[in-house]
Structure 1
Amino acid sequence: MTDLSVANTANQPAFDVDSIRRDFPILSQQVNGKPLVYLDNGASAQKPAAVLDAMDRYYREMHSNVHRGAHTLGDRATAAFEGARETVRSFLNAESTREIIWTRGTTEAINLVANGLAPRLRAGDEILVTHMEHHANIVPWQMVAERTGAKVVPIQVTPAGELDLDSFHSLLNDRTRVLALTHVSNVLGTVNPVMELVGEAKKRGVLTLLDGAQAVPHYQPDVQALDCDFYVFSSHKLFGPTGIGVLYGKAELLEAMPPYQGGGEMIERVSFERTTWNVLPYKFEAGTPAIAEAVGLGAAIDYLGRLDRQAMEAAESALLARANDLVATVPGMEIIGTAAKKVPVMSFKIAGLHPSDIGTLLDQQGIAIRTGHHCAMPLMDFYGVPGTARASFAFYNTLDEVEQLFTALQKIQRLFA
């Protein structure tokens, strides 16, 4: 067994995974009489104590509705809430907090953008997505296309799970109005060349949206360098709480888009004759927001900011490399998605075994993975499978846990061989 708390080579910084794991209380428990091995991070990552403490402190010491409160608790809550927005702005390197919109998650953020851009779309217009998209970056565009007469066009992927750039260039044309693509595939782990694709789209005046839900746990994006028009992600995949996410959008585009929902906070003035909208970002934040969750997300980003990101990425790369090395030890195991550039996500199948059976049998040994179509049915159709088993690793996982996974898979394969 290899210990990630020491450097793998002289050129890689040390990463004290044992210390990191102590920051995540949930990882110390047992499941089915076995120490928990949590390898379902792509679905939802675990939360450090810093996040739990920040949310607890909010409810114990400052809970109140934000904005307009004429009392101390309201001031405290507003400061914490808007402080979290500034933390997100800094994390993304957005130009202004006006460009940071709170949503319920990636899905709502994409729906907001799709509906906001609908007035720009006409019959015959095209919306480019990719064959590896999560349903959240397909279905909202299909719904808008049905209303407007536009068409959703998928960019193909290669058998290795990389985006087919020839397909992209052949499909990008004068009818293309929007390019909406995932930064990192939730099924394959593929890291797409988003800067290149956004750059090509912008040459034609195409609006661009990047789904960063699977990217932000592993990389810190720079939206100004990417020059994308919109970037979206969910808190719960970034080691923060559920129920909140982020839409980054260029201010001039957000200003031009109509509100997504009506109600309190998003208004400037209401009368029965005419209602006017609030300024950004509040124009898109109708109703009482998820205040504690915003505070928790800010705490998660602050926690990550205290880690050595280079060492973290090296540790995650070592996890994936070790998993790839061990594939040959499980007869009939096949990896779905072998792109040259990946985050530590491994989708696989084992001959003669249904993915759901693999997941159930691993759970009996305390190992948590995800099985099914992963909200990516078109991609499953491309590979000709109903679903896969997926192990997704985070920086708090260890090489010992990778080896435990494969020891368990070997046992399962022998049982059903």
Structure 2
Amino acid sequence: MSMQSTLNRALFDQVMVPNYNPAAVIPVRGQGSRVWDQEGREFIDFAGGIAVNCLGHCHPALVGALKDQGEKLWHLSNVMTNEPALQLAKTLTDSTFAERVYFANSGAEANEAALKLARRWALENGGEQKDQIIAFTKAFHGRTFFTVTVGGQPAYSDGFGPKPQGVDHIDFNDLAALEAVISDRTCAVMMEPIQGEGGIIPATQEFMEGVRALCDKHNALLIFDEVQTGVGRTGNLYAYQHYGVAPDILTTAKALGGGFPIAAMLTTAKIAESLKVGTHGSTYGGNPLACAVANAVLGVVNTPDVLEGVTVKHRKFLDGLNAINDKYQVFSEVRGQGLLIGAVLNDDFAGRARDFLVASADEGLMCLVAGANVVRFTPSLVISDEEIELGLARFEKAVAKVKLG
């Protein structure tokens, strides 16, 4: 019996904690926007590891960076700094509103750092009573106990005992609701420029500008969670640039490492002062291996070619999905920005997003869901036109299957 055949889906249930329920398919190899499983079946990847593999699989620039750095230095601890980390911090500050960077390993960790910084800053700049954090229903900010409490999906934070206090939730894109809740006791407002897990819901321009103005009025920090929207996903390096509204703190992860774990929290020099020596830390944050890969990612993504290409590919996806919908009438709308796209199911198919995902996998296409009513697409930013067309053809077959039962 080959080793491969024993490493199967059944083994998962014997050795893994049951918090995931993965598909039976086990991918073993990827190239660009294609993936092959144990049986040699080919899939087109419209999922990108949930907006992580921004340059697809095994991109030569990333493989090269990993191999080069892998023969130099992997880890040092933050008792010392290192060249890849300094380069990455410089690139991020040169390319954004930010002046200071803190490195971590995941979006949740970057958000945890952002929330801790906001609370510490408010304590020093407004006193103990300035502790309110305002976030939005359906928001997702990670799975640590603090970030999951700030996230607007109670099902993820219920059942673990008393939650961190001082967190209020209001509806997204509802400026009047924010105005009613915000005050001088507000420490920070945290939001995704486009709600991801919540259903690919972009903030309106008016809402973005209104939130910024209310934060300024009440001396509260505005935190943008750009874990999913960042690193070229929307056609700008960060989505806030599309709105022309800068936050005080921004978090980035997922695509930043193109598949290698790394995250960063970006902020201004003034606000950063509140994270004095010893107030926060991370064992692996800013390690040379992750930073070298992230430098390679930005070297490719943060170019006019790739960023403008995202907008062109967005159009191609929209046209393709709308053409499929003209035929089969399953979506009420297709929304999103760049290559963060949500196809919203109409009333006839409400709650059945997972059926489309499963049918797609049967046709050799990897896609995602965002809640029960939205099919989500977050492919590589450099996916070829040919792969887009092939993937959409497979998706059309899946849609036909679900439609015709």
User: Which TM-score applies when normalising by structure 1?
Assistant: 0.69
Letter in 2 for 1:153: H
2:341 — aligned with what? 345
In the TM superposition, what is the alpha-carbon distance from 1:59 to its structure 2 partner?
1.0
Shift of 1:300: 0.1
Task: Show the counterpart of 1:176.
Answer: 186
Aligned to 1:230: 249
Which of 326, 330, 334 does residue 333 from structure 1 map onto?
330
User: Aligned match of 1:242 in 260, 273, 289?
Assistant: 260
Alignment of 1:10-29 (within 5 A): 25-29=31-35
User: Contact conserved, 1:183 with 1:214, CA < 8 A, in 2?
Assistant: no
Q: Which amino acid aligns with 1:84?
A: L
Quote the residue 2:45 is aligned against. 38
Alpha-carbon RMSD: 3.6
1:166 and 2:180 correspond: no
Contact 1:231 1:249 in 2 (8 A): yes
User: What is the CA–CA distance in structure 2 between the aligned matches of 1:91 and 1:128, rounded to whole Å?
Assistant: 28
1:6 aligns to what?
none
How far off is 1:335 after superposition? 4.4
Using the TM superposition, give the Cα deviation of residue 39 of structure 1 relative to its aligned residue in structure 2, in angstroms.
0.9
Structure 1 position 30, deviation (Å) = 4.2
The answer to whether the Cα contact below 8 Å between 1:346 and 1:392 also exists between their aligned partners in 2 is: no
Identity %: 11
Other-structure match for 1:253: 271
Distance (whole Å) between structure 2 residues aligned to residue 203 and residue 90 of structure 1:
28
**What is aligned with 2:167?**
151
Task: Spell out the pairing of 1:128-139 with structure 2 (5 A cutoff).
Answer: 128-136=134-142
Q: Which runs of 5+ in 2 are unaligned?
A: 1-29, 152-161
Q: Which residue does the alignment assign to 1:287? A: 283
- How many angstroms does 1:209 deviate by? 0.7
Preserved CA contact (<8 Å) 1:190 1:337: no
- Does residue 221 (structure 1) correspond to residue 218 (structure 2)? The answer is no
Instruction: Give the match for residue 313 of structure 1.
Output: 310
Whole-Å Cα distance in 1 between the matches of residues 239 and 334 of structure 2? Answer: 26
Report the equivalent of 1:358.
356
The answer as to whether partners of 2:328 and 2:400 remain within 8 angstroms in 1 is no
Aligned partner letter, 2:325: A
- Cα distance in 1 for partners of 2:280, 2:376 equals 35
Paired AA for residue 377 in structure 2: A
1:120-163 Cα deviation digits (max 9, x unpaired): 38569532212241142995267589677523222x24xxxxx2
State the partner residue of 2:116: 115
Write out per-residue CA displacement over residues 166-220 of structure 1, whole angstroms, 9 at most, x where no aligned residue: 3333433344321100122214333323354223311221111100122223322
Instruction: Provide closer, same or farther for how the CA distance between residues 411 and 151 of structure 1 changes in structure 2, counting only shifts above 3 A.
Output: closer
Residue from 197, 200, 210 that aligns with 2:214: 200
Structure 1 unaligned runs (5+)? 1-23, 70-76, 158-162, 259-276, 375-379, 381-385
Alpha-carbon distance in 2 for matches of 1:61, 1:352: 52
Aligned residues: 341
Relative to structure 1, the CA distance from residue 83 to residue 201 in structure 2 (aligned partners, 3 Å threshold; closer, same or farther) is same
Question: Letter of the aligned partner of 1:411 in structure 2?
Answer: A
Structure 2 residue aligned with 1:410:
399
Using the alignment, how far apart are the partners of 1:299 and 1:207 within structure 2?
A: 31
Structure with the greater alpha carbon radius of gyration: 1
Whether the 8 Å contact between 1:184 and 1:215 is mirrored in structure 2 is: yes
Structure 2 letter corresponding to 1:326: A
TM-score (norm 2): 0.71
Distance 2:184 2:295 in 1: 41
